[in-house]
Structure 1
């Protein structure tokens, strides 16, 4: 299999991107890599050219570029060329740590949407207290959504949880302001009814945001506007918690001694809550695996994202989504 990688996307490109590819190349002998970006800069960090091809380009999409306009105007940008390689059948998946909006636009406009899927969805795997994690979608691909879109998000999340995360009969929950069937706005009430009636996946009902990290579901579905706010709230809360903990442990000699004793356990706790360990955020609903690595990814974060892409290819996730949609298990051929 071949994976196309935007070597110039992200805060630490190309160094950490290339080092992550080197780590993956050692472990995954069945994967070939196509790196898109400045050849000279890539070669500085490339320690082994085995199964690695470099496609040179000086153009890249910046973090502050307007997504759709950048994709249309920068035809030779590293991100666009990586997606084009997938479209042309030269690669099986695409990875970038660059501009999130641009990658979503690239996936949709260059690679294309799966027939029958109305809207794509951005789906990272987030940590839980058990370390198991859960998939949440949509986290920003669609600010506005219909109930029918949430119904489809549940299907795509369920397939990913089962095929890639190896969860038997994954539990699919709907994010809402209460667990009762009657709670919520017009969107969540209608989505609840549709998800309750479908036969394609195991729907467990409404999930409250306070329970997200408590292993109450394997997949949580919401609209992109709500999902993005929840994600940033979790990120901010986590960062604030560890910041306050550090301040408390450093404010006296006695506490500093305690911190020294607990250092190993605290680092393990922090690693447990680092969602980069689960890989990147998948763009579900397009014709091939497209994965957004975290913008600040180090080499290990890129490695886990490559592992994730490899699993999606091996488990034929896109083909499974197409098959489920064609069989009409959500209540019709298309929505």
Structure 2
């Protein structure tokens, strides 16, 4: 199992990326795991040595360029072919690594995911999701959270299928409950998209559709998978992130509120592409990098993307 990591992406790279690699390896001892670290070799070597990262567990793939957080994604990938992100996707496409992780330019990661590797046959649009903590200790999944700001009903129908498969195999939830984000519980509520998506989801035998869910249900145990277009999903995601920030500012130490810390979930997997691509937050620290590796390992061990492919093609 070879997992590639963009060591130069993110506000605190490469220091926090190196610390994250060490953190993960201290907690896990998979003999079959090998990490391919993409980045500036002169910067990485002393940091890896200083942090005593076992040399047998990684290989440095030297790169000479970095795609900045504010650069235009497509232009940057074309012009910076020796960047850590571009070279990482080259290796992923060639089968030299099995998964790729980055906390760098989100747009570049999305462009790379959709054009360097194949979109699953039958998938109309790949999607990204976010983990939503529930008061009972469980976790929900919200998608889309920003990749697809405008959607058609068919997109939400596929998001529901992909989210259900991910929730089942990564979170261990049998027969996940799927809800459609809406402004009311009753069938027929909502805008044109919601009204058109409801009957499609209702007739989809591949999911356990429970109907509409409202904003007040997002953090409750109403649904395991909640689907919406990316505009609404991103608003909810950013609101959820602010809950943890406010709790920290107010010095509130609460077990539930602490679970809103994005770092404990690692990053966001792109669902609907052939190989695992994990996108981390730009402000990721060591814990986030460690948990991104963990997400990639779980996705590979469960072959969740293969199961997503099977589920999408069945409908």
Shared fold (TM-score, shorter chain, > 0.5)? yes
**What CA distance in whole angstroms lies between the structure 1 residues aligned with 2:263 and 2:183?**
28
Give unpaired runs (5+ residues) of structure 1.
247-262, 331-335
The match for 1:57 is: 63
Answer whether contact 1:4 1:83 (CA < 8 A) is retained: no
**What CA distance in whole angstroms lies between the structure 2 residues aligned with 1:238 and 1:183?**
32
**What CA distance in whole angstroms lies between the structure 2 residues aligned with 1:164 and 1:274?**
19
1:110-131: CA deviation from partner (whole Å, max 9, x where unpaired): 1121110010111121222223
Structure 2 residue matching 1:161: 3-state secondary structure: helix
Mean Cα displacement is larger for which, 206-215 or 308-317?
A: 206-215
**What CA distance in whole angstroms lies between the structure 1 residues aligned with 2:274 and 2:172?**
22
Answer whether contact 2:67 2:80 (CA < 8 A) is retained: yes
Report deviation, 1:312: 0.4
**What CA distance in whole angstroms lies between the structure 2 residues aligned with 1:44 and 1:138?**
40
**What CA distance in whole angstroms lies between the structure 1 residues aligned with 2:179 and 2:205?**
15
Structure 2 residue matching 1:21: 3-state secondary structure: helix
**What CA distance in whole angstroms lies between the structure 2 residues aligned with 1:21 and 1:167?**
29
Answer whether contact 2:119 2:272 (CA < 8 A) is retained: yes
**What CA distance in whole angstroms lies between the structure 2 residues aligned with 1:240 and 1:274?**
11
Answer whether contact 1:161 1:219 (CA < 8 A) is retained: yes
**What CA distance in whole angstroms lies between the structure 1 residues aligned with 2:145 and 2:5?**
22
The match for 1:38 is: 40
The match for 2:232 is: 226
Answer whether contact 1:142 1:224 (CA < 8 A) is retained: yes
CA RMSD of superposed structures (Å): 1.6
1:300 to 287, 303, 309: 287
1:316 to 303, 311, 315: 303
**What CA distance in whole angstroms lies between the structure 1 residues aligned with 2:120 and 2:86?**
19
Structure 1 residue matching 2:55: 3-state secondary structure: coil
State the TM-score, normalized to the length of structure 1: 0.88
State the TM-score, normalized to the length of structure 2: 0.93
Structure 2 residue matching 1:233: 3-state secondary structure: helix
Structure 2 residue matching 1:36: 3-state secondary structure: strand
Report deviation, 1:238: 4.2
The match for 1:280 is: 267
The match for 2:139 is: 133
Computing the radius of gyration over CA atoms, which structure comes out larger, 1 or 2? 1
Give unpaired runs (5+ residues) of structure 2.
none
**What CA distance in whole angstroms lies between the structure 2 residues aligned with 1:7 and 1:175?**
36
Q: Does 1:164 align with 2:170?
A: yes
Report deviation, 1:279: 2.3
The match for 2:4 is: 4
